[in-house]
Structure 1
Amino acid sequence: MLDDLLASLRDDDPRPALLGCRLGGRPVVRATRAELSRLSKGYAVALHARGLTAGDTIGVAVRPGPRSLAVLLAAYRLGLRIAVLDPTAGPDVVLARLALAEPRLVLADAAAQAVAGWAAPLAHRARLALPDLAALAPVVTIGRRLPGSAQSLDPGSGPVPRAYDADGDAVVIFTSGTTSSPRAVVHTRAGLSAGLRIVHDLVRVAPDRPVLGGTFFVLVPALAANAPVALPARRPAALARQSARLAPQATYLTPPHLRAALAAGMRCTGRVYSGSAPVSADLLARVRRAGADEAWGIYALTEVFPAAAVEGNAKAAYTGGGDLVGALVSGVRARTDDRGQLLLAGPNAAHRYLGAEPGGWIATGDVGRVENGQVVLGGRCKDMILRGAENIYPGLYEPALHVPGVELAVIVGVPAADGDERVVAVVQPSAGTSPDAVRAALREPLARMGAARPDAVVLADVPLSGRSRKPDRAAAARLAAGS
């Protein structure tokens, strides 16, 4: 699919590729197909000129847009491995991830560098934080520079390097683990292409009609099918106006974004897809009532994207126990282990975890079963909290809460509306330590948690269970819910 996209881009094609929106939701062309073609080739020339060759790793911290997509396409053309850097994970976690990925070069826009530097105090308020990106690898700026930014990586001119045509690692995406031992998923070029092909077949994109969505798995299949892609507006009211102006043939939004846009009065057209978090039958019904021809819930993991899909009418009609997430997509296989955990395999499954040997079946962490090719989930068996569309792994952040004056601390999820969760830290003060002193001591570690920062902190004795007296997370969640 990526090869198809690269082959379809021409330097003389004036059709729009990426769209943004102005006030009132009016669409504006952010890049034509010709501009995207020239930009991706120019970055390939520039990266090649810096000595980067197939198999090398680059770290990328660039906001969605024409330049970030062009950089990704350039890296794919050269056979480079892309390590995605998430500025919401907190500086300590990002630094550990950089050390594991060992990039030869970090590509960052001026905003990401500002978050790591002079704008850090302001960024903390938005739950963004990055370490000094140059601590482990050279840094170059993608796009416009600001004072203090690293030197720019300007698109180069001259002969474009020949496209790499073998398999190999394509992307590294970090998931769970600990600060001292991060965990990352590695997708190969073949696996990534298989996932994109499945999305293409599922969404059924027609040429020259807009698609609304901002993820890589939306951009590539739509552009490869010669359809322009509109990057969603950030504010719900603006997103609702944008959708009304565009009348997209297909839309992909996470459940939190979709709920907020519907509350702001968004009318839907064509087919609407939602995933990256639980998608309820009620949400899909609301999408249909808002005008969509079809409303789809997508079941996917970082390791397998996508895995299954269900249309809203089928989900609403299901009367069995558990949560129907739909039919397995083409090529994906599923079974359960002796604990009832759902296992997945397929052409789009991750090749391995970074630093580990290739495995077989992917353990989803979800309790589930397969009925006539349909996947039904019954809850999670791994320790993970899902807030909005963010997977939050408590083990990454709990050690930072054990500051002087804290006896024990756990981070738990408390069920909220429509499958979402609130993140609550239950903190047990040491004997003789005042609540004010504990809250003051926690201020700095909480500020460094980025998007994982708890919604609330409850000072109480952490419930224990079992002969080893380990923290009882279920009991702690009930305690947090009642506080």
Structure 2
Amino acid sequence: MSGATGRSYRSTASRADLVGRSENVVHTAVLPEDRAHRDPAGPCISDDDLTLTNSAFADRARAAAAALRGRGVGAGDVVAVVLPNRVEFVVALFAAWRLGAAVTPVNPALTESEARYQVEDSGAAVVVGDGSVSSVVTMDVAELDAGPGPADLPPAPTDAGALALLIYTSGTTGRPKGVMLDHANLSAMCAMAISAVGLGPADHSLLILPLFHVNGIVVSVLSPLLAGGRTTIAGRFHPAAFFPVVERVRPTYFSAVPAIYAMLATLPAEVVPDVSSLRIAVCGAAPMSAELIERFERRFGVPIVEGYGLSEGTCASTINPVDGVRKPGTVGLPLPGQEVAIMDAAGALVTDGSPGEVVVRGPNVMRGYLNRPEETARTVVDGWLHTGDVGRFDADGYLVLVDRIKDMIIRGGENIYPKEIETVLHGHPAVLEAAVVGAADAVLGEVPVAFVTLNPNTTATPAELHEHCRASLSRYKLPADIVALPDLPRNPVGKVDKIRLRAGLADSATPAR
């Protein structure tokens, strides 16, 4: 693919080719039945405790659908799933789709108030979980396995426009928004991923990213299963335990975030694993430095394929080619069937190579934010998804990310918005002002650092403020450091100058945690 620097770029795959591939991809709602029909005894999905063939997986999905129907779930409803990575999560996903319902995955690490907000905002009819968020769960996961499902429970009509997933992502106000993805979004995204990565029946995905992220669902589960391959769900990630799992289950690929690659690259020198089964490793969720890519590839001999995308685009929009030139420091070329462009503040496409906002157009773009028409209208304009990221194209059409328009912090692949932390800090009686920015971290990429000023005649130690944050925020959102200042720096119009705060952090040592 080539073109004038800075113009919008489209994949070399034609739209007709993409449509043909999409038609060949089985609809997600009937995937378990299709796999069971094609190869009943073939391997499908497994975790540390359970291994299911295609036939057994279809039986489980049918039984779970019957259990959900017994709880009153039907077409158009939403099922919330609050589970760690395990086979039952995927079973619940397909069971809901069999009934024509959608799923909203809930991070089990959320506090009860955070989880309750998502459940209530999504209008979930049932909340499936294992009791870890006891006051929110309404259906124990064990109820999903009540024996073989009834034969008279056929899949709901395969409506491509039916809502499939509600993925919650934080907004600039700190209030999470439900990203609405329908089955057409998922089918298009999976067709793109299958084509770009060359997935087929021989592929075996090792899932280590959380299933409450669209990346974990699309890249590590749906795409390999739709391509005829299989998935192994790993337990909680730990660097020392990762390669023994690879040696035992023999996957052909896995998807991870830069923080995971950083931890693996710093394992002791005596760790020399057998990675011969791996043909690629995929990286997304946050930019990965060229130095880290080179260090990982040199040590383990597994090529890293870096991509870029967001939940609103059903996971991915660009990727470095598997068979072709991979350019570390870029996030690759547009996926087949998508158009990626650079737009200026006036809404005109940039054609001179200058940086601007990255915008995306294609069948993967979300339906919108649930019950937020105004935010949807601001984000998707004339079919273009405005990402909030600043980027440019190099001479070969590879996308280079320059910066982020928004203040979002990406900590080990988890999105954190400063406003949410600032709001919590403002709730402390001693805090007058609070500003949160991202500080560079060698492993996690970024960590949030909070700066506060205190009300006159009050005191609050950093330890007290940390404890205050722990009562309201998930662990991954907690500031790595809280610094009290006499005054916060301001720009000429009186706003807190976060650029100066970030510059000060860049000139100092990494904050203690």
Q: With structure 2 as the length reference, what TM-score do the two structures score?
A: 0.79
Aligned to 2:405: 381
Residue 448 (structure 1) aligned with residue 472 (structure 2): yes
Aligned to 1:133: 136
CA distance in 2, matches of 1:51, 1:59: 14
Residue 162 (structure 1) aligned with residue 163 (structure 2): no
CA distance in 2, matches of 1:16, 1:221: 15
Residue 307 of structure 1 contacts residue 329 of structure 1 at CA under 8 Å; is this kept in 2? yes
Name the CA shift for 1:468/1:361 in 2 (closer, same or farther; >3 Å): same
Task: Indicate which of 42, 48, 62 corresponds to 1:15.
Answer: 42
The 3-state SS of whatever aligns with 2:292 is helix
- Structural mapping, 1:239-388, within 5 Å: 239-264=242-267, 265=271, 266-268=273-275, 269-292=278-301, 294-304=303-313, 305-311=315-321, 314-316=325-327, 323-339=329-345, 340-357=356-373, 359=380, 360-371=383-394, 372-388=396-412
Aligned to 2:88: 67
Give the length in aligned residue pairs: 442
CA distance in 2, matches of 1:461, 1:89: 33
The 3-state SS of whatever aligns with 1:207 is coil
CA distance in 2, matches of 1:474, 1:92: 32
Which amino acid in the other structure matches residue 71 of structure 1? A
The 3-state SS of whatever aligns with 2:457 is coil
Residue 82 of structure 2 contacts residue 105 of structure 2 at CA under 8 Å; is this kept in 1? yes
Residue 36 of structure 1 contacts residue 66 of structure 1 at CA under 8 Å; is this kept in 2? no
Residue 190 (structure 1) aligned with residue 178 (structure 2): no
Which amino acid in the other structure matches residue 413 of structure 2? A
CA distance in 2, matches of 1:461, 1:197: 55
Q: Which runs of 5+ in 2 are unaligned?
A: 1-24, 209-215, 346-355
Overall identity of the aligned pairs, in %: 25
- Structural mapping, 1:398-437, within 5 Å: 398-402=422-426, 403-417=428-442, 420-436=445-461
Task: Indicate which of 481, 485, 496 corresponds to 1:471.
Answer: 496
Deviations 1:69-91 (A, max 9, x none): 01101111222121221233444
CA distance in 2, matches of 1:397, 1:94: 17
The 3-state SS of whatever aligns with 1:219 is helix
How far residue 388 of structure 1 moved from its aligned partner, in angstroms, is: 0.4
Which amino acid in the other structure matches residue 334 of structure 1? V
CA distance in 2, matches of 1:180, 1:228: 37
CA distance in 1, matches of 2:437, 2:61: 43
The 3-state SS of whatever aligns with 1:303 is helix
How far residue 205 of structure 1 moved from its aligned partner, in angstroms, is: 2.6
Q: Please identify runs of 4+ aligned residues in structure 1 that moved more than 6 A.
A: none
Q: With structure 1 as the length reference, what TM-score do the two structures score?
A: 0.83
How far residue 367 of structure 1 moved from its aligned partner, in angstroms, is: 0.8
How far residue 392 of structure 1 moved from its aligned partner, in angstroms, is: 0.4
How far residue 464 of structure 1 moved from its aligned partner, in angstroms, is: 3.1
Which amino acid in the other structure matches residue 108 of structure 2? P
Aligned to 1:212: 206
The 3-state SS of whatever aligns with 1:10 is helix
Deviations 1:26-65 (A, max 9, x none): xx75323222111101111122233222111121112222
Aligned to 2:129: 108
Residue 258 of structure 2 contacts residue 445 of structure 2 at CA under 8 Å; is this kept in 1? no
Name the CA shift for 1:449/1:281 in 2 (closer, same or farther; >3 Å): same
Residue 272 of structure 1 contacts residue 296 of structure 1 at CA under 8 Å; is this kept in 2? yes
Q: Which moved more, 1:251-260 or 1:183-192?
A: 251-260
Residue 404 of structure 1 contacts residue 441 of structure 1 at CA under 8 Å; is this kept in 2? no
The 3-state SS of whatever aligns with 2:320 is strand
Deviations 1:239-262 (A, max 9, x none): 111213344222222222222233
Residue 185 of structure 1 contacts residue 354 of structure 1 at CA under 8 Å; is this kept in 2? yes
CA distance in 2, matches of 1:56, 1:67: 19
Q: Which has the higher contact order (CA 8 A, sep 6+)?
A: 2
Q: Which runs of 5+ in 1 are unaligned?
A: 22-27, 114-131, 144-150
Deviations 1:365-400 (A, max 9, x none): 111123454212111111100110101011223111
Which amino acid in the other structure matches residue 44 of structure 2? A
Residue 325 of structure 1 contacts residue 377 of structure 1 at CA under 8 Å; is this kept in 2? yes
How far residue 68 of structure 1 moved from its aligned partner, in angstroms, is: 0.7
Residue 299 of structure 1 contacts residue 306 of structure 1 at CA under 8 Å; is this kept in 2? yes
Name the CA shift for 1:462/1:220 in 2 (closer, same or farther; >3 Å): farther
Residue 16 of structure 1 contacts residue 29 of structure 1 at CA under 8 Å; is this kept in 2? no
Aligned to 2:232: 230
CA distance in 1, matches of 2:31, 2:342: 37
Residue 142 of structure 1 contacts residue 154 of structure 1 at CA under 8 Å; is this kept in 2? no
Which amino acid in the other structure matches residue 210 of structure 1? H
Residue 209 of structure 1 contacts residue 249 of structure 1 at CA under 8 Å; is this kept in 2? yes
Residue 410 of structure 1 contacts residue 462 of structure 1 at CA under 8 Å; is this kept in 2? no
CA distance in 1, matches of 2:144, 2:228: 31
Residue 439 of structure 2 contacts residue 502 of structure 2 at CA under 8 Å; is this kept in 1? yes
How far residue 7 of structure 1 moved from its aligned partner, in angstroms, is: 3.6
CA distance in 1, matches of 2:30, 2:79: 23
CA distance in 2, matches of 1:180, 1:207: 42
Name the CA shift for 1:103/1:48 in 2 (closer, same or farther; >3 Å): same
Residue 254 of structure 1 contacts residue 389 of structure 1 at CA under 8 Å; is this kept in 2? yes
Aligned-residue RMSD, C-alpha: 2.7
Aligned to 2:223: 221
Residue 45 of structure 1 contacts residue 161 of structure 1 at CA under 8 Å; is this kept in 2? no
How far residue 156 of structure 1 moved from its aligned partner, in angstroms, is: 6.4
CA distance in 2, matches of 1:420, 1:141: 36
CA distance in 1, matches of 2:404, 2:299: 31
